[in-house]
Amino acid sequence: MIKLKPEQIASQAQDAHERTLALIDGLSVKQLKGSLLPIVNPLLWEIGHTAYFYELWVLRHHLKRPPLIPNEDKLYDSMTIDHDDRWDLPLPTFKDTLIYIQTVLENIKICLAEGEDEVRDYLAQYAVFHHDMHNEAYTYTRQTLDYPAPRLGSTEIKSTGQAVSHEDRRNDDVNIPAGTFMLGATQQDGFVFDNEKWAHRVEIAPFSIAKMAVSNADYLRFVEAGGYHKREYWDDNGWKWRQQAPHNPQHTTMPDHPVYWRHTADGWQIKQFDRWIKMPMNAALIHVCWYEAQAYCRWAGRRLPSEAEWEVAAAAEPTADGLTLSPRKRYYPWGNAVPNKELANLDGLALGTVDVAAHSAGDSAFGCRQMIGNVWEWTQDTFAPYPGFEPDMYKDYSQPLFGNTRVLRGGGWATSARMIRNTWRTYYGPERNDVFAGFRTCAL
């Protein structure tokens, strides 16, 4: 990844700001507060917090400027304010919050125009990606709280329009040879987060991984086979999770199918924000937790990939004879070209997942499809530090989650295209079915 110029980072900050405004557009004061749930934040607090992050690290810590509003640390510091307390804070009004986030943006853009400063640029890029992650969170919050779809693109889940042949739709396994692989990011990759540092040697045994992610039709067979009621498909924690219905306090869905599914006289439907639509059978499965992914794998006689296997399938190349892994590694599955709408379903414009066989132009060297975009993919692994890990300046980004969350890879349909790459790691608790997560499987 080429190092960005300050003016490019400023443009990204402007773009992230505009996406935030689009994602909160049309919401009432009541909706901006929302319900107190462990899986969301009050949106009014969250948009202020995201602007505060720029201010705290770039303007205050680095440039030593005074706070823009009184008591802002007691309003927006996520490291010191308990989650459940965020609904009771004396936050600025919505109008004043909009003024605050606009003021922060203008200050950031001005300082980025003031000569060269590598530390400033690093912190500003960090804040932009933090902003992008919160924009994705605002998107799934609208789904969780039954708010209307944001005005970003389509109003229905649809295919990309690319022709998909019957042969191309076959979800065969891709065979990947053994070899040595450098897992993680390098210092030549541009900005990366602490949990990606640094690339280290791992030995990969040969394995076979599905070309495509699990589709709604694939998972429906597990549901209709009674998979949610058969104890043998669930480990102890998964079975306990399954018995604690409803999983999302906003809904009454019982745990015999994914949280946003329902069966009607007209067939299966899925909920898209505040509307129920006919289930797109070939679209990638979404909104399932790690326990559900594991249960499906046991039913299907499959397994989840390790995160090293996932990154190999996405980033590695075979040697000319195909017998081992080449030392070459790709930044994206398709190479080094930046993502676009032909390569991946990103940036939220589809408002949902598309056909698992779409975006063939984005295939990895081994022929794995949609390793970037459409759905975040659960892996087998517990989130853990790489050898020699040292936290970045924002110490709570990774460290507190090591050991008690699971790794997901690849980005989803609402993920910002500018931030995702093959080495990106995100993490959620294994019970989280509200985020934009699905999975693909490996042969045993």
- Domain ranges, ordered by start, for the chain: 6-144, 154-444
Helix axes 94-112, 6-24, angle to 10 degrees: 170
> Which pLDDT score, from 0 to 100, does residue 160 have?
43
Per-residue pLDDT, 244: 81
pLDDT, tens digit, 9 for 90 and up, residues 142-170: 999 999 999 986 544 444 445 566 566 68
- Number of Cβ within 10 Å of residue 274's Cβ equals 12
Beta carbons within 8 Å of 197's beta carbon, 6+ residues apart: 184, 185, 386, 388, 389, 390
Thinking of the domain 6-144, which architecture would CATH place it in? Up-down Bundle (1.20)
Neighbours of 213 (CB within 10 A): 25
Interacting residues of 23 by C-beta distance below 8 A, sequence separation 6+: 135, 138, 139, 142, 150, 152
Question: What percent of the chain stands above pLDDT 70?
Answer: 93
Q: What is the pTM of this model?
A: 0.95
At 253 the pLDDT is 54
Per-residue pLDDT of the chain (444 residues; tens, 9 = 90+): 568 999 999 999 999 999 999 999 999 999 999 999 999 999 999 999 999 999 999 999 999 999 999 999 999 999 999 999 999 999 999 999 999 999 999 999 999 999 999 999 999 999 999 999 999 999 999 999 999 999 986 544 444 445 566 566 688 999 999 999 999 999 999 999 999 999 999 999 999 999 999 999 999 999 999 999 999 999 999 999 998 865 555 555 557 999 999 999 999 999 999 999 999 999 999 999 999 999 999 999 999 999 999 999 999 999 999 999 999 999 999 999 999 999 999 999 999 999 999 999 999 999 999 999 999 999 999 999 999 999 998 899 999 999 999 999 999 999 999 999 999 999 999 999 999 999 999 999
CA atoms of 340 and 420, how far apart (whole Å):
12
The pLDDT of residue 161 is: 41
The CATH class given to the 154-444 domain equals: alpha beta
